[in-house]
A and B are shown apart, each in its own frame.
Chain A
């Protein structure tokens, strides 16, 4: 009985306090909502802007005017028809590799080996020209494409197999294989495949015309563009319409539910790495056959890594990747153009990293929402 009275007393006290206390009209607070989609279209734009700002500080600290530098970059990438065609040329491997990593990332397979897979594709495509010099002309491109895709896929598989059968983290494997591929490339271009008439230039002889991808008239822009665009269309159709796409969607949303539905996660990891590697291998093939027309030292200025940014900036959406690959391609071309004013081309790498960091931060900030709590509402 005693307690009842106590509770009543307390309640009375509270009521009295409530009547007396000053009530704020409303208060705001930031509340984290994990279910909320991280922001809209403005998040990537804002991240790019803040990354530019961040890097501007470094440039400024280096005694340069960041505006001049950025203007120079923009002009170099998009300011002339030459610049635009160069940007497009860079965008092709980025788009292919970006699609490749995006396929994997959608089911949380962290392939960062696109670089190695690209190199493997380039080496295999070149091997066709080295070991079968007498193929009928029209056969070269299809065979080289097949070889490039196959080699990239095998390189991807080398990452996937340890993951599925030994539980080895694919991040580490794929990255280690990048170095292996790079050393393999060095071996070939400094060793057995070096052009005997190349004045010690570390590269193979120039491909014959049959072995080169056609270019759009008068530019360096090659038909690899068609591969890339076709891949975008195929990717988005498969993803939204096919059974495989449904399985991928499920695996991405809840791997346990997918397992419960009888979907083999391991099989998908293998498949995804095959596709991922194949696309990167195709990019490698189109680089040697469409751009440099030979296998040479430093065939890729880090396309495989940059592709990660292309994919993430587009939120893994294939259509957006067309836009982001152009943007990032422009960054690379712009990076070359600032060399004329004494800045290293790694400028663009720094910018890319900064953009990715800001993007991740921005996306997560977008998950917070402003909440009005308490106060006069009720």
Chain B
């Protein structure tokens, strides 16, 4: 019997969390983004060290101070962002931690390859074993990760948000594998915020909220509604229907857009679409099917291989980033701290990022400090950004406040077209709602919004039209009335109905 109990004193991420898992079960750790699920996983796998609390494996009190300790106890983890060395082969990645036998000639490698192939076959996990990892698909990479933990002798396998990068059918396949693993006596813990998966796959469910463990339930004793309420902390009123937008004239038309990814293959394969004023176009798809490149190519951060982009009557595919900004194209980047904000600078400097070229910020080339501060204070007030002062480095703000700050800046620019990539990733419910409202308000002020998100529910709720991306192609386009989750799910997996694909 394995019991893992964990308590914390100081760290808010996990506040005195108790958590136990039984051998041979699939246990789902359910919670919203930022509820502290990943922290629990990281503590169990030795990536973080607990500030206080105790941990038991197989009834023994243990201390896990490093991933190596965890491995020795038979705990293996599959991270949300895979822990694979991209330049090494799958085989090398799997045997990376092995320290026996320093010399590795050809015969040794053959032996290992055989060993691992057998392991793969046993659980029905397939991937090319000798290819560099960066050439594998996301699903294959995940399989490499699972085999890696198995190869290293894990009994307890932790999977952090394993389905967030998979198509519905790939996810289905993953759960089959997990059930197989369970059958052979392994214990499995997954974290997720998707209720449907939990109900489909888990034996037991623990719910976390704001760093606390709320409840631990058997699947048969509960239902999706109860879980949702536990997760969010209040009775869930169905997220209200969003009224459709009033689509007007086209703002941007993209024709035959082809864009190359970092490794040189085609990330987007001659796609065409249009964004009209007053509508939100959702782009659905599993991560890595060209969404990132689409956003970057429109904003000018990535060059086009071919195709045209017409924006308000002007050809823009070769335009500089600056000209696009002047034209009213705005981007909410995927990773706000990586490219959207300068973490070490204060709020005023970050708000000026797009508008500093205008004469409102500078008088005769000299910074108008007083005016700018007043302007920034107004924006912060209007968009409800909570901050101790205007000068604190923005990296100290919470994720939600950072995102609101970013949106405040972009919306203040009165964009004609906004490309929003995962705009609510990692935000709590309140912040998510205000971001959604901002996007809707922007739409109603007759701007066009291109919403790229992996959260299918978000896309379906907000969009007036949905494009489904798969393998760099638009495999389907649905209007608001046609939206149907199963159908989109099929398209995301590349099984578009031929009629849609032909369009």
Question: Interface residues, chain A, CB within 8 Å of chain B?
Answer: 2-4, 6-7, 10-11, 14, 17, 35, 240-243, 245-247, 249-250, 253-254, 256-264, 373-374, 377-378
Alpha-carbon distance A7/B22, docked complex (angstroms)? 10
Q: How far is the CB of A7 from chain B (nearest CB, A)?
A: 5
Among A7, A242, A256, the residue within 8 A (CB) of B366 is A242
Q: Is the CB of A253 within 8 A of B333?
A: no
B residues within 8 A CB of A246?
A: 349, 352, 356, 367
Which B residue's beta carbon lies closest to that of A244?
B365
Excluding A3-B20, A4-B216, 7 further A-B contacts by CB distance (< 8 Å) are A247-B356, A253-B345, A257-B353, A259-B339, A260-B339, A262-B321, A262-B354
A residues within 8 A CB of B343?
A: 253-254
Interface size class of B (residues with CB under 8 A): 35 or more
Which B residue's beta carbon lies closest to that of A258?
B342
Q: Is B362 an interface residue (CB 8 A)?
A: yes
Given A10-B5, A250-B345, A254-B342, are A262 and B320 also a contact pair (CB < 8 Å)? yes
- Tell me the residues in window 334-383 of chain B with beta carbons closer than 8 Å to chain A beta carbons: 338-345, 349, 352-354, 356-357, 362, 365-367
Q: Is B51 an interface residue (CB 8 A)?
A: yes
Q: How far is the CB of A184 from chain B (nearest CB, A)?
A: 38
Which B residue's beta carbon lies closest to that of A251?
B342
Looking at chain A's contact residues, is the secondary structure mostly helix, strand, loop, or mixed?
helix
Alpha-carbon distance A262/B355, docked complex (angstroms)? 11
Given A254-B341, A257-B342, A262-B322, are A6 and B352 also a contact pair (CB < 8 Å)? no
Give the top 10 A-B pairs by smallest Cβ distance, nearest first: A262-B322, A253-B342, A254-B342, A256-B339, A262-B321, A7-B20, A261-B353, A260-B339, A257-B342, A253-B344
A residues within 8 A CB of B482?
A: none
User: Considering residues B1, B299, B300, B356, which has the most beta carbons from chain A within 10 angstroms of its beta carbon?
Assistant: B356
Q: Is B490 an interface residue (CB 8 A)?
A: no
Q: Is the CB of B342 within 8 A of A250?
A: yes
B residues within 8 A CB of A245?
A: 367
Q: How far is the CB of B368 from chain A (nearest CB, A)?
A: 10
Question: Interface residues, chain B, CB within 8 Å of chain A?
Answer: 1, 3, 5, 7, 9-10, 18, 20, 22, 51-52, 54, 56, 204, 216, 299-301, 320-325, 331, 333, 338-345, 349, 352-354, 356-357, 362, 365-367, 393, 395-396
Q: Is the CB of A11 within 8 A of B10?
A: no
Alpha-carbon distance A259/B216, docked complex (angstroms)? 47
A residues within 8 A CB of B1?
A: 6
Q: How far is the CB of A364 from chain B (nearest CB, A)?
A: 16
Looking at chain B's contact residues, is the secondary structure mostly helix, strand, loop, or mixed?
loop
Alpha-carbon distance A346/B287, docked complex (angstroms)? 59
Alpha-carbon distance A374/B50, docked complex (angstroms)? 11
Q: Is the CB of B20 within 8 A of A6?
A: yes
Q: Pull 19 A–B residue pairs with CB atoms less than 8 Å apart, ordered by A.
A: A6-B1, A7-B5, A10-B5, A10-B56, A11-B5, A14-B5, A35-B395, A241-B366, A242-B367, A246-B367, A249-B345, A257-B341, A260-B299, A260-B333, A261-B321, A262-B320, A263-B322, A373-B51, A377-B9
Alpha-carbon distance A241/B300, docked complex (angstroms)? 29
Q: Is the CB of B395 within 8 A of A250?
A: no
Which A residue's beta carbon lies closest to that of B343?
A254
B residues within 8 A CB of A250?
A: 342, 345, 349, 353
A residues within 8 A CB of B3?
A: 6-7, 10
B residues within 8 A CB of A11?
A: 5, 18
Which B residue's beta carbon lies closest to that of A9?
B3
Q: How far is the CB of A340 from chain B (nearest CB, A)?
A: 48
Among B204, B321, B395, the residue within 8 A (CB) of A259 is B321
Q: How far is the CB of B327 from chain A (nearest CB, A)?
A: 11
Given A253-B342, A260-B321, are A374 and B366 also a contact pair (CB < 8 Å)? no
Alpha-carbon distance A369/B22, docked complex (angstroms)? 40
A residues within 8 A CB of B52?
A: 374
Q: Is the CB of B339 within 8 A of A240?
A: no
